[in-house]
Amino acid sequence: MELMDFVKAFVVGGLICVVGQILIDKTSLTPARILTGYVVTGVILGAVGLYPMLVDFAGAGATVPLTGFGNSLAAGVREAVAKFGWLGVFTGGLSACAAGIAAAILFSLLAALFSGPKDK
């Protein structure tokens, strides 16, 4: 890995976060709607073939944010449809992202078990 790879990942990931912060500050959108919008944007950009180019350019700066999750969903559906036909529309996204979803659930459980609840 070269230094420029890290710079590109930082800049692209940072710009994605800046857009989210601007949406939070300047609109009445809730964070949940913004996050959902990011996933949908990743699905759309992945479906038309633009997001893989961004991933090639920025690496983790494009795959780690929620837009990358949407891109993974779109890629999984595309592969499953090619392999299983229309049934792949329902199974492809889940199978493509199963490891990430399982890891998020596991680490959330561990965090809940090892951190004590606090009253506000």
List, for residues 70-116, the tens digit of each pLDDT value. 888 888 988 999 999 988 888 888 888 888 889 989 999 999 899 87
Cα(20)–Cα(18) distance, integer angstroms: 5
82 vs 88: CA distance, rounded Å: 8
**Given this model, what pLDDT does residue 17 score?**
93
Comparing CA positions, the residue from 73, 65, 116, 67 lying closest to residue 92 is: 73
Residue 118 has pLDDT above 80, yes or no: no
What pLDDT is attached to residue 58? 93
pLDDT score recorded for residue 8: 94
Q: Read off the pLDDT of residues 10-48 as tens digits, 9 standing for 90 and up.
A: 999 999 999 999 999 999 999 999 999 999 999 999 888
Please give the pLDDT value at position 97.
Answer: 86
pTM of the model: 0.78
Q: Report pLDDT digits (tens) over 41-83.
A: 999 998 888 998 999 999 989 988 889 888 888 889 889 999 9
Residue with tokens 């609840």: 117
pLDDT at 119: 75
Query: Domain locations in the chain?
Result: 2-114
Nearest to 19 by CA among 33, 6, 38, 5: 38
